Amino acid sequence: MAILVTGGSGYIGSVTIERLLAKGERVVVLDDLAHGHRAALPADIPFYQGKIGDRELVSHIAREHALDSCIHFAALIEVGESVIDPAKYFENNVAQGIALMGELVQAGVRRIVFSSTAATYGDPQQIPITEQCPKLPKNPYGWSKLFMERILDAYDAAYGLKFVALRYFNAAGATENRGEDHRPESHLIPNVLSAALGKQPAIRVFGTNYPTPDGTPIRDYIHVMDLADAHILALEYLRSGGTSDFLNLGTGRGYSVMEVIDCAREVTGRDIALQIEAPRAGDPARLIADPSKARALLGWQPVTSDLRSIVRSAWVWRLQNPNGY
């Protein structure tokens, strides 16, 4: 039996595939390569280029390969873009997601690990954030993920489609061969390292007057390998008869923007100039996960997610791949 991985050429998808193959799993990839990189995947892996909403293609893949399950990464993820063009996000993330789920159900697939997001919570009413916190996204990207969570819940009740929705906090870091290469790049750590390499003149810091110790926002960073392993544990949980659930993936520890920059200066040995700008609308002061449910349900424990390990791994990969893939 094979695992269908949608969006497998992307950052988290490619690392998860690396970990799945190391465990001897059979993997099939569906990706439109709009933002991913074919070079991030082994050359000999079964790969189909196309949209997840292409019902005929998904049906063909299901006929060609005996699918055991699906790990669904494929989505647009830029918050700012989702505000400017919400239709693009609802079409890609929701409408095409519905088409994918429909074809998987028709093919007899009954296990889905879904890449969700902490953006489903919106402005948190408590820190750390538990899965029981209210879900009120502040942007169309967050809504698109929450809509898919609700759809999966309904498909479980109606069709027996079991799922685990994993709400990521901040993915970061790299493996020896795979790292973060978004174009454009909106995430803090790769932009800080880009500044360290001299590929941009300074790192933009959005606001220094937040109610935090150094005035910059605090986020919960998780190493991409720990994140990938959580997907594998979630799949094993479903294979063993586990019921559908929603889980936060974070460390329970937060680092500020300035702490990340200072860590990058130490790891790289390079000066990193700052460009202080106004705070971005809607940026909370703190976003920190309570990951205790994932630990209890999956036995998952992040082991490489201290900030120095995250930054060092990303820096090593960036030095080896200064222009990305």
Q: Which residues are catalytic?
A: 141
Measuring CA to CA, how many Å separate 190 from each of 53, 180, 185, 263? 31, 7, 7, 13
Are the C-beta atoms of 149 and 246 separated by less than 8 Å? yes
Q: Which two tokens stand for residue 227?
A: 């994140």
Find where tokens 């879904």 sit. Answer: 114
Rounded Cα distance, 312 and 279, in Å: 28
Contact 130, 68 (CB under 8 A): no
Whole-angstrom distance, CA of residue 179 vs CA of residue 165:
23
Q: Which residues pair with 171 in a beta bridge?
A: 222
Q: Which residues contact 314 (CB under 8 A, 6 or more apart)?
A: 172, 173, 174, 179, 180, 189, 190, 193
Extract the tokens encoding 155.
């498909």
Cα(108)–Cα(46) distance, rounded to whole angstroms?
20
Find out whether 178 and 250 touch, Cβ atoms under 8 Å.
no
